[in-house]
Structure 1
Amino acid sequence: MPAAKSARTRFPLIPVVVVLALLAGGWWWWSQRGASATGAWRTAAVERGDVRVVISATGTLRATTTVDVGSQVSGQVLEVLVDFNDRVEKGQPIARLDPAPFQTRLQQAEADLASARASVNEAQATLKNAEADYTRKADLVARQLIARSEADQALAARDQARARVVSAQAAVQQRLAAVSNARLDVDYTTIRAPVDGVVLLRQVEPGQTVAASFQTPVLFQIAEDLAQMQIDLSIDEADVGQIREGLEVAFTVDAFPDRQFHGEVKQVRLSATATSGVISYPVVVIVDNPDFSLLPGMTASAEIVVSQRENLLRVPNAALRFTPPEDVAAAAGQAGGTGGGRGGMMQDLPRIAAELQLNADQQAAFDAAMAQLRERAASRQAPPSSSAPGGMGGMRGPGGPGAGGPSQEAMRARMAEAMNRNFAPFRATLSPDQQQRWDAALRAQATARRGLLWVLENGRLKPAPVRLGASDGTVTEVDGAVEEGTRVVTGQERPSA
């Protein structure tokens, strides 16, 4: 009997166990079905680190000063005194032309000068005789011993003799100039280095004939100083506004792939160039080259460090691009997102007020202004199913306004105006220093770029509005409703078949 009774008590438990097993199996099947339908979320942690914003460009290394050396006279090259890579000093002979034709011209010019000087002596002797003749005849006319006409002829002869002296002296000056010119030509047959430097190019050989004309051929190219060089970079117009003098530049060259060189932006030139419709500006970078390892003509792959921020919160850019499905966003109470608008700014206002160290009356005025702001925001909040143009529903995540809606700049301007109007009574309670700090903080908030992150908490998505800072194209600085270690969603796995 006891055994039969025990059997009867066990049998009623079997249906209960079966029902529980079926319920558990159904719950597992339903959860697996939901997971396969929505897929798993890919996440990344908010971390602390550095954000280094750089602009990449390529350019060519060259000497800061390069001089093309030609010849000022034509002739045949007798000898070349320097070669490639030779160091030269200013005034040092580097080539010589045949001086014989020029020396002959110099001798002819000197002979012409001697002839001109002899003509001056002859003209002066004639003048002396003409003056004596005029003096005698003038005396005889005074004593009425000769006719007046003879004295007049003597006067004319004296004046002509004076004129010939002046002409002969001018001819001497012309011959002197011709001699000087001929001597210069002889001197120019020796080509000299115009600066101290290194010979980069030599394009002349002994026996070659050089023809000096309006376009003098380049015989040598001399780099004045290779210890300091420059890179000529071409920067796109979209990036040139971020570049200023003094920015650090890091670059590499193919000759030393494992070595990084450094320079500094010296000049952003205004001479824009257009290539296939793309506008670019030349940027000059100064580079120290103490070991002369960098050579003119090398191609440099450079990165201009626009900004470098350290130890800040950053997230992958994929987290800022992520937008959940509408049903998931609706379940989170944020259909369409509000992270880029007033909501994010409202969360920052208490922190700004706390930094002002308000007294009791100022805090009460601030709390009243915040209450009014929240009331107005709640009254303007559209339901998830609507997306009225110009309302907060027009914003979606970190993106811009919806189609047909106002621009972010217009919304920020309206928001700043509304903030100033709403907090005017509170601002009136502040001291001048506090007012200045409050106004600066509001301006910074109004102009800040904003985005929306989605945080995964207990398997559910939660919106987190943030302010955006510097970005290097991979990660972006954030500040707002996240902290180090927060898991943010970067994407969604594809549902399994």
Structure 2
Amino acid sequence: MKKNQRRWIGVVAGIAALILIAGLCLHFFAGDKGPQYLTAKVGRTNLENAVIATGTLQAFRQVDVGAQVSGQLKSLKVKLGDKVTKNQWLAEIDPVISENALRQAEANEQNLVAQKRSAAAQLVQAELAFKRQQQMLPDDSTSRQDYETAQANLGVQRASIASFDAQIRAARIQIETAQANLGYTRIVAPMDGEVVAIVTQEGQTVIAQQQAPVILKLADLDTMTVKAQVSEADVIRIHPGQTAYFTILGEADKRYYGKLRAVEPAPQNFADSQSSLGGIGGGSSKPNAAVFYNALFEVPNPGHLLRISMTAQVNVLLGTASNALNIPVAALGDKNKDGTYPVRVLDRDNQVDTRKVRTGINNNVNVEVLSGLKEGERVIIGEGSDMAGAGAGATASDVVN
């Protein structure tokens, strides 16, 4: 009995071992399943091809309000952030020196006018004396010398009057200059705008002999200028009139659109670099220095949300497509001579078919499909083994056996 039980247990163990061996053989020695492909569906989305640049915001109109006369800044009538209108009183330079200069100029004119009156009286006397000499000369009642002396004296007096006339005109010019300088002590706004900087404080003395010192800065913030720094590799692809937009750090989801107004022909630091080199051809530039060109466009700023010197992430649009049929760029093969690209398509039976596809806008991530594919088809973007070390796989793709 015990022998039968042992025999039965041995048979069962043998069968189990055979089943285990068969399973392992099926697992390790099964036929080839075929290659695994990483695929993506042909879908639709909005595409854009753009030159990307970093820029800064500036006021479209900004003025440095300066002083044209020297003196102490007696008072400031505005503070930082105030909105002002054209011809509004902004500041005052101490007017005492200018007032004294005006009074001195007026006194000089009055002195010259009085001297002219005296010269005019002497002219009348010289004219009468010369007339008497003219009447007496034919009768030999006077000498030729006295006649000539009276004639010369008359000429001197006339010249003196002409000299005083010229001096009076010069004095009146000095009065007008003094009046203008006195007016310059009252500094007014040259335009509507907002006070964006105060450079000189009350009590400081400004010297305006060589250049006009800046008192404050005014800017019109209703319109902002974007100065985008475009690399030399991309600048050849942009031109005035193209649509551009930007976002700011504090509101990354909102786009501000405008049209390129200009692309500056020289790099942004061209003037400084040339002066440091002693003029064009005066030295060698740095061969490894990055070169950027400024592209300019304006955007409205009605709520003054945009501020001076904000950083802007700028996109200059080279092309756009709405609801475009598209595939990942990784699906494209090498370009054919006829301008098409080979694309491998996986059909429902997991069979690979190579198509010739014509493309449109390419933003280096996705590419527009103009012909050769239909929506919903699956294109091969890589082998499954290529993604072995890349984690669980991309959300927009499938691994297909």
Structure 2 length-normalised TM: 0.79
Please give the alpha-carbon distance, in whole angstroms, between the structure 2 residues aligned to 1:269 and 1:145.
89
Residue 317 of structure 2 aligns with which residue? 305
The AA in structure 2 aligned to 1:263 is G
- Check whether the contact 2:71–2:205 (CA below 8 A) recurs between aligned residues: yes
Aligned to 1:142, the other structure's residue is in SS state: coil
Q: Which residue of 1 aligns with 2:263?
A: 268
Aligned to 1:454: 344
Note the alpha carbon deviations across 1:358-379, whole angstroms, 9 max, x for none. xxxxxxxxxxxxxxxxxxxxxx
Deviations 1:49-93 (A, max 9, x none): 332212222211121100001111111121111101111122221
Match runs of 1:46-445 below 5 Å: 46-223=42-219, 225-273=220-268, 276-321=288-333, 340-341=336-337, 345=338
Q: Which one-letter code corresponds to 1:483 in the other structure?
A: K
In the superposition, relative to structure 1, how do residues 27 and 293 fare at CA in structure 2: closer, same or farther (>3 Å)?
A: closer
**CA shift in 2, pair 1:102/1:450, >3 Å:** same
Distance change in 2, residues 1:77/1:160 (3 Å): same
- More helix per residue: 1 or 2? 1
The whole-number CA distance in structure 2 between the counterparts of 1:479 and 1:257 is 31
Q: Which residue does the alignment assign to 1:492?
A: 383
Q: Shift of the alpha carbon at 1:314?
A: 1.8
After the TM superposition, list the runs of 4 or more consecutive aligned residues in structure 1 that deviate by more than 6 angstroms.
24-28
Choose between structure 1 and 2 for higher RCO, CA contacts under 8 A separated by at least 6 residues. Answer: 2
Does the CA-based 8 Å contact 1:117-1:172 persist in structure 2?
Answer: yes
8 Å CA contact retained: 1:272, 1:282: yes
- 1:255 deviates by 3.1
Answer yes or no: is the 8 Å Cα contact 2:358–2:372 preserved in 1: no
Percent of aligned pairs with the same residue?
Answer: 30
The alpha carbon displacement at 1:146 in A equals: 2.2
| Helix, strand or coil at the partner of 2:331 | helix
| Separation in 2, partners of 1:475, 1:157 | 102
Aligned CA distance change for structure 1 residues 80 and 480 (closer, same or farther; 3 Å): closer
Q: Take 2:372 and 2:200, find their aligned partners in 1: how far apart are those partners? A: 72
* In the alignment, structure 1 residue 29 sits paired with structure 2 residue 30: yes
- In 2: Cα distance, 1:256 partner to 1:49 partner: 24
Structure 2: which amino acid aligns with 1:220? L
* Counterparts of 2:48 and 2:99, CA distance in 1: 68
> Which runs of no fewer than 5 residues in structure 2 stay unpaired?
1-21, 270-285, 389-401
Residues 104-156 of structure 1 deviation map (CA, whole Å, 9 limit, x = unaligned): 22211111111111111111111111111111111211222222222112111
Asked whether the equivalents of residues 97 and 190 of structure 1 are also in contact (C-alpha less than 8 Å), the reply is yes
**Separation (CA, whole Å) in 1 of partners of 2:323 and 2:256:** 25
Structure number with higher strand proportion: 2
Please give the alpha-carbon distance, in whole angstroms, between the structure 1 residues aligned to 2:89 and 2:46.
56
CA distance in 2, matches of 1:233, 1:278: 15
CA distance in structure 1 between the partners assigned to 2:199 and 2:267 by the alignment: 33
Q: TM-score, normalised by structure 1?
A: 0.65
Following the alignment from structure 2 to structure 1, what is the Cα–Cα distance between the partners of residues 211 and 137? 69
Aligned to 1:431: none
Q: Please give the alpha-carbon distance, in whole angstroms, between the structure 2 residues aligned to 1:245 and 1:114.
A: 62
The structural deviation recorded for 1:200 is 0.7
Structure 1: runs of 5+ lacking an equivalent: 1-20, 324-338, 346-448
Q: Is the 8 A contact 2:43 2:325 kept in 1?
A: yes
| SS at 2:98 equivalent | helix
> Is 1:464–2:355 an aligned residue pair?
yes
- Select between 480-489 and 95-104 the one with higher mean Cα deviation: 480-489
Cα separation, partners in 2 of 1:58 and 1:110, compared to 1, 3 Å = same
Paired residue secondary structure (1:213) = coil
Post-superposition CA distance 1:245-265 (Å, at most 9, x none): 343333222233454433332
Query: What is the match of residue 479 of structure 1?
Result: 370
RMSD between aligned residues? 2.7
Q: Report if the CA contact (8 A) 1:80-1:204 is conserved.
A: no
